Amino acid sequence: MDPFAEIKREVDVYLEVNDIAVVFGGVRAVDGVSIEFKGGAVNGLIGPNGAGKTSLLQVIAGSVHPAAGQVLLDNRNITRFGPARRASHGLIRTFQTAKVFGRLSVIDNLLVGLQNQTGDKLSAALFRRRAWKQEEELAREYAMGLLRDFNMENQAHVRAAELSGGQRRIVEYLRSLMAKPRVLLLDEPTVGLAPWVTERLLHDLRRLREQGLCIVIVEHEMELIRAICDVVNVMASGKVIASGNFDEVARNRDVQDAYLGNQ
Amino acid sequence: MTFYLSTLAVYFVVYALGTLSLNLQFGLGGIVNFALIIFEAAGAYAASLTSLGPSAQGLSNGQRYFWGISLAFPLPLIAAGLAGGLLALVIGPATMRKMRRDYQAAAMLAVALIVGQVVTNAPGFLNGGAGLSGVPQPLYSNLHLSLSSYDWAYVGWATLLGVLGYGFCRWISMSPFGRTLRAIRDDEDAASAVGKNQWGVRMQVFIIGGVIAGVTGGILVEFIGAWSPSAWSYQETFVLLQAVILGGVGNERGSLVGAFLVGIVLLEAPTFLPAIGYPGLIDSVQWMIIGLGYILILWMRPQGLLRERVDLRLAGDGRNIFSYLRPGRLRGAQSANTSIGE
Amino acid sequence: MHIFLSAVGFAIVDAAILSIVSMGFSLQFGMTNVLNLAFGPLMSLGALIAFYLNENGVFIWYAALIGALAVGLTSLFLGQTIFRTFARKGSRLFEMAIVSIAVGLVIDNAMAAITHSTTYQFNFPLGSNHDIGGMTFTTTELIIILIAAVTIASLEYVLHRTRLGVAIRASSANANLALASGIRTERVLKLTWIISGVLCGLGGVVLAISYMSINYTTGDTYLPYVLTAVIVAGIGAIGYAAIAAFILSLVVEVAGAYGAAAYNIMIAIGILLIMLLVRPRGFFSELWERVEVTA
């Protein structure tokens, strides 16, 4: 069963932020940022520390309210949506420090990711057992397939709290896949990962891209950004200072200044 | 002697159901419901009001309460469950929003205190501090049994309800809904990130727990026939919390074990001992043991005696509610000392 | 008008007692981030010790001091053993609250066992009546108000004009940063436990004096008022806790003067609930963002 067959999209996803401002205790962490994130592409979001990347990501994900601006998904204004509601529209994120459900097993962690499960509703859990039992079986196979891709099928029944940092990141990523994302927001997804795991992840992202997902990735490692990003947006001091493919952006004077100035 | 045993048996069911409902709310749901006892109280009062009949105000025996009706068995018990659920519906939206967990605990405690004060002081509401008495035992006149046979029949009835309650809790726990609930408990933000509605899920569990607690109060009051604020002071919730933690957070069988150890062995059984020291000394010692017990358990083994199931699938695979009564087996690595969880 | 004025008079005395305890609670809450629900039982402890000493011939205000010091030491002991152990384990905030409840249970019931749950009458000379601004106070009440005023003034002075105060406020805001800046946070922590315990015990004694009776539950039933004042002020706002104490006492006394006194505690708890649900950070909070526990 091809784990990725489920995630195919027909129409390109469209994610846009307009004029976003985020203020934290008097500091403008994000100051009038507008970006179009292309579907069917990997959009990088980079910049020196304190540039406002994570704040912007949090605004897109819905965990932080912008002081101004809008977030649009497929031309629908989702600025007032909370994180759960955005997730139900396919906007799935990961966290800078990978968050897992510590007291659940690895496989259960993945299965929680599944949206619109019949068994998720209390009434259905009680009275429509056969329906959700079947769904469970299929979902379980699917999840085991995902774990196998990352050599984690032996950890399927381990409590997530016992995983290493890198393993947690994988679990978080796979959980995001289970949620059938249309937009995938990845916050430093490769930190603590072994090289072959990173390779595997990049391979995944390329396939997801082909299937029309809009992927936004916050990263620090230049090699990775060069390898995977189609578009790179550079932020510094709360503003976007450059946008384009990797080479264009690397040659940009402002970008070089921003990075050097911060060392 | 058999009177003692039958009383203990009923009390065990009552403690067990109370522990199971707190385990559902706190152990699985992460809701710090320090006010659980008032849901039992709501159920007990509802069962009383619907079997006592209208208030006989003005008579010498006059208990003054605001409403009463005489319904046949088992309607008062259903009213008890409804009362618990309704109270949860009222309290839930206010107290279950996202806030610092210790503040939420303090808020629940405050709710328990204030409800206690209101019931004790409001004239003509629920007969204040004196409480309600003379609550008829269900079907007593119809069954024509001797006192002790009736008691044992009641034990059977209570046990049946207890078994159903246990199975029901496990049924919920071992479903995708239960898994989602535990995920929200473990990490709200991550759960939201995959579309789980923390408030909705928790409210449902809060209400269900309230219903179970309400029924529990009904079972108790129909056995002992009286109910007053001294029976449901805010400390009672800590007994149930202790039972949940000792037995094993998130484990329904553990809740039974905890209810037995704390409710019966520690609290109820000693009341049948001859009086030692001055009246109330045993009481104080029991509460000291509970307090010390908390500290010890939370320090040495916060996950309790029986561990929470790691995997949804590994525990029983029944076709109906009764199959959930069979214990599940744990497999896979066991975790080291964890906290009792967020 | 007379009713109102006498209510104000009562409120001033109430506020005196409440501000002592609230500031103590707030000081410790701000430093450790632990909602210490054992504070109530500790109040009773201080009062009972002072009562016992007084019954055996010790001059009341010396007895009060000794009682307060005893609670200060007890508080230090609890903080350094029990609370520290759980903080080291990484216990979450509500787990610490549960632990504090457990500690309170043990102290409460130990006192119950020792005193046989007796309620003692504090037969204490009230002194003569004094009329000030239309309100009547007994000598004892004036002494209590004086004690409170001195306590508030000293605490404010220490917090804002001494290096210790700076150290306390810095450690409360960010313990790691304070440590890195050279502040001896360990010493500051110990002093915080002691000072807050002393305030707790002192408050318990004056409470018992004003009630003229004491049993082991006296502190427990008083705790909701303390929590309300502290939460209204906001975590870390120690001085404001005294102001909140006064406003709360005023509201309660005035409402009680025109209604029934039994509803006093309900008003306090009602305000507490509203605060927790509507504006948990309080009005003058300085440390709302902290999530970790320091002990």
B321 lies within 8 A of chain A by CB: no
Dihedral Cα C47, C53, C57, C60, nearest 10 deg:
-30
Confidence of residue A1 (pLDDT cuts 50, 70, 90): very low
SS3 assignment for A54-82: HHHHHHHHCCCCCCEEEEEECCEECCCCC
Confidence check: pLDDT of B275 > 80:
no
B90 lies within 8 A of chain C by CB: no
Q: Are B51 and B71 in contact (CB under 8 A)?
A: yes
Residue B317 to residues A13, A82, B324, Cα–Cα distance (Å): 41, 36, 7
| Probe site for chain B from A54, A60, A64, A120 (most B CB atoms < 10 A) | A120
d(Cα C286, Cα C27) in Å, to the nearest integer?
12
Q: What is the percentage of chain A residues whose pLDDT exceeds 90? A: 60
DSSP string, B104-160: HHHHHHHHHHHHHHHHHHSTTTB-GGG-EE-PPPTTHHHH---HHHHHHHHHHHHHH
Condensed to tens digits (0 to 9), the pLDDT of residues A202-235 reads 999 999 998 889 999 999 888 899 999 999 999 9
For tokens 């004029």, name the residue.
A19
Q: Are B39 and B214 in contact (CB under 8 A)?
A: yes
C86 lies within 8 A of chain B by CB: yes
Instruction: List the alpha helices (DSSP H) in A102-252.
Output: 106-113, 122-127, 129-149, 165-178, 195-210, 222-228, 246-251
> Residue A82: phi, psi to the nearest 5?
-80, 170
Condensed to tens digits (0 to 9), the pLDDT of residues B18-59 reads 999 999 999 999 999 999 999 999 999 999 999 888 876 545
Residue B109 to chain C, least CA–CA distance (Å): 10
pLDDT of residue A5: 55
Between C7 and C147, residue with greater pLDDT: C147
- Please state the domain extents for chain C: 2-122+138-278
Condensed to tens digits (0 to 9), the pLDDT of residues C242-261 reads 999 999 999 999 888 877 77
Mean pLDDT value of segment C137-162? 92
Structure tokens at C184: 């001896």
Choose among A108, A129, A172: nearest Cβ to B312.
Answer: A108
Residue B20 to residues B9, B209, B212, B256, B264, Cα–Cα distance (Å): 16, 8, 9, 8, 15
> Residue C108: phi, psi to the nearest 5?
-50, -55
Mean pLDDT of chain C: 90
Q: Are A126 and A90 in contact (CB under 8 A)?
A: no
Question: Do A125 and B176 count as a contact with CB atoms less than 8 A apart?
Answer: yes
Confidence check: pLDDT of A120 > 50:
yes
Confidence of residue B98 (pLDDT cuts 50, 70, 90): confident
What's the predicted TM-score (pTM) here?
0.89
Mean pLDDT value of segment C182-207? 93
Cβ contacts of B256 within 8 Å, gap of 6 or more: B16, B19, B20, B166, B247
Choose among C95, C103, C280: nearest Cβ to B291.
Answer: C103
Choose among C82, C227, C277: nearest Cβ to B295.
Answer: C82
Cβ contacts of B35 within 8 Å, gap of 6 or more: B91, B108, B109, B111, B112, B115, B234, B237
pLDDT of residue B337: 40
The predicted complex's ipTM stands at 0.90
Question: Do C99 and B295 count as a contact with CB atoms less than 8 A apart?
Answer: yes
Neighbours of chain C (3+ CB pairs under 8 A): B
Q: What is the chain B residue with the closest CA to C235?
A: B103
Nearest CA to A15 out of A155, A157, A214, A150 is that of A214
B284 lies within 8 A of chain C by CB: yes
| Probe site for chain C from B34, B185, B235, B298 (most C CB atoms < 10 A) | B298
Residue B247 to residues B129, B258, B308, C31, C154, Cα–Cα distance (Å): 33, 4, 10, 34, 49
C208 lies within 8 A of chain B by CB: no
Q: Show contacts of A243-248: CB within 8 Å, 24+ apart.
A: A243/A35, A246/A44
Beta-strand relationship, C129-132 and A27-38: unpaired
Instruction: List the alpha helices (DSSP H) in C123-184.
Output: 139-161, 163-173, 175-180
d(Cα B249, Cα B255) in Å, to the nearest integer?
8
d(Cα A74, Cα C147) in Å, to the nearest integer?
67
Q: What is the percentage of chain C residues whose pLDDT exceeds 70? A: 100
| Probe site for chain B from C276, C292, C293 (most B CB atoms < 10 A) | C276
Choose among A99, A117, A136: nearest Cβ to B187.
Answer: A99
For residue B14, give the 3-state DSSP assignment: helix
Question: Do B114 and C86 count as a contact with CB atoms less than 8 A apart?
Answer: no
d(Cα A33, Cα A241) in Å, to the nearest integer?
10
Confidence check: pLDDT of B247 > 90:
yes
Mean pLDDT value of segment C270-277? 89
Dihedral Cα B61, B63, B66, B69, nearest 10 deg:
-60
Mean pLDDT of chain A: 88
- Residues from chain B that touch C35, judged by Cβ atoms under 8 A, are 102-103, 105-106
pLDDT of residue B41: 96
- Residues from chain B that touch A187, judged by Cβ atoms under 8 A, are none
> Half-sphere exposure of B310 toward its Cβ, with a 13 Å CA cutoff?
18
Structure tokens at A185: 């927001």
Q: Are B89 and B207 in contact (CB under 8 A)?
A: yes
Confidence of residue B60 (pLDDT cuts 50, 70, 90): very low
d(Cα B134, Cα A203) in Å, to the nearest integer?
74
Confidence check: pLDDT of C282 > 60:
yes
CATH class as words, domain C2-122+138-278: mainly alpha
Confidence check: pLDDT of B164 > 90:
yes
Q: Show contacts of B120-127: CB within 8 Å, 24+ apart.
A: B120/B229, B121/C260, B121/C262, B121/C263, B121/C266, B123/B64, B124/B57, B124/B64, B124/B65, B124/B66, B125/B65, B125/B66, B126/B45, B126/B65, B126/B66, B127/B63, B127/B64, B127/B65
B240 lies within 8 A of chain C by CB: no
What is the number of CB-based contacts under 8 A between chain B and chain C?
A: 127
d(Cα B119, Cα B125) in Å, to the nearest integer?
7
Residue B317 to chain C, least CA–CA distance (Å): 34
d(Cα C215, Cα C231) in Å, to the nearest integer?
26
Q: Are C232 and C282 in contact (CB under 8 A)?
A: yes
